[in-house]
Amino acid sequence: MMLDFGEAVRQFYGSYVNADGRAQRSAYWWPQLYQLIIYAVLVVVFLMAEGTTDIIDAVVSAEEANEEFVFTDDMTIGPSGIIAMILFFCFAIANFLPNIMLNIRRFHDLGQTGWLVLVFQGLGLIQPIGFVAGLVNLIWFMIPGTAGPNQYGPDPLERNSDIFG
């Protein structure tokens, strides 16, 4: 049975240290959408903060002039921008472990080892290989999981299957 948005996000946080079992596509993609929305709101708040446009203009000007950007004392970000940055980083830190565990369970649903998360994270550090690896991972996670039970547990799409049992 496919999960709805709320249930997928609840499972995302409820299983933040659980690498066992499988995660169907909806259990993966709904939390990704949820996080994207939160990050987008925080970025918009940051960009709308007082002083942010001056800093962005200075960065763009330095880039166009092929010069190094220098942050000066008169460049300040308003309180809403600072709060947005703090919330952005706190949200990222709070979601780091749940994302790793969800990725492991998603690989399990595809019949693969969870160690592939480490492989893709490592490849992500090497540019431009990281971009290609990210695309491969993205496409791979769009593929339906193995039908029926596999070595990592029962099929989460089957009715009355205990996904986290």
Residue 22 main-chain phi, psi, to 5 deg: -130, 155
SS3 at position 33 = helix
Give the model's pLDDT for residue 85. 93
Which residues partner with 150 through β-bridges?
153
148 sits in the region (left: phi over 0; alpha: psi -120 to 50; else beta) called left
Give the model's pLDDT for residue 53. 83
Give the model's pLDDT for residue 164. 52
Cα 9 from Cα 44, distance rounded (Å):
23
Give the model's pLDDT for residue 44. 93
Tens of pLDDT, residue by residue, the chain (165 residues): 789 999 999 999 999 899 999 999 999 999 999 999 999 999 999 999 888 888 888 889 888 988 888 877 777 888 988 999 999 999 999 999 999 999 999 999 999 999 999 999 999 999 889 999 999 999 999 999 999 999 999 999 886 545 554
| Greatest alpha-carbon span in the chain | 62
8 A C-beta contact, residue 113 and residue 80: no
Nearest residue to 38 (alpha-carbon basis) of 57, 13, 4, 3? 13
Q: CB neighbours (10 Å) of residue 59?
A: 13
Give the model's pLDDT for residue 160. 57
SS3 at position 109 = helix
Domain ranges of the chain: 5-140
Cα 146 from Cα 56, distance rounded (Å):
47
How buried is residue 61: exposed, middle or buried, by Cβ count under 10 Å (0-12/13-18/19+)?
A: exposed
